[in-house]
Amino acid sequence: MVVFLFTKKSEKIFESLPEWVQTRMANKLVSLKDHEEIFKILKPLVDYDLATHRLRIGDYRLILSLKENRKYRAEFWVLDVGHRKDIYKS
């Protein structure tokens, strides 16, 4: 089981996105909740300060930080949300 938690900053950004993008992201996160091989879908980030992984959803990216990884549960914090052209600039 995988848990995705939003920081206050990322939640605010998420809520400012168009509704169809929010729906698409929410559906993707729900579908990944019980995915067996989550680390084949999430790509590791190199040389990115706090983040460990990224999730691609169309033209948008979620920057994630793995906080806990046990045998039956992984906990990811969503640090940032944004369009692919802007997300890696900050």
**pLDDT in the model for residue 34:** 85
- 67 part of a folded domain: yes
- Do the domain assignments include residue 15? yes
CATH classification of the domain holding 65:
3.30.2310.20
Residue-level pLDDT at 70: 75
pLDDT at 69 over 90: no
Is 87 within a domain?
no
Average pLDDT over residues 7-31: 96
Q: 80 near 9, Cβ under 8 Å?
A: yes
Q: Could you tell me the pTM of the whole model?
A: 0.89
Are the C-beta atoms of 37 and 28 separated by less than 8 Å? no
What's the average model confidence in pLDDT over 11-37? 94
- Total count of domains within the chain: 1
Q: Which residues contact 64 (CB under 8 A, 6 or more apart)?
A: 4, 42, 51, 52, 53, 54, 55, 76, 77, 78, 79
Domain assignment of residue 11, yes or no: yes
**What is the predicted pLDDT for the residue at 54?**
94
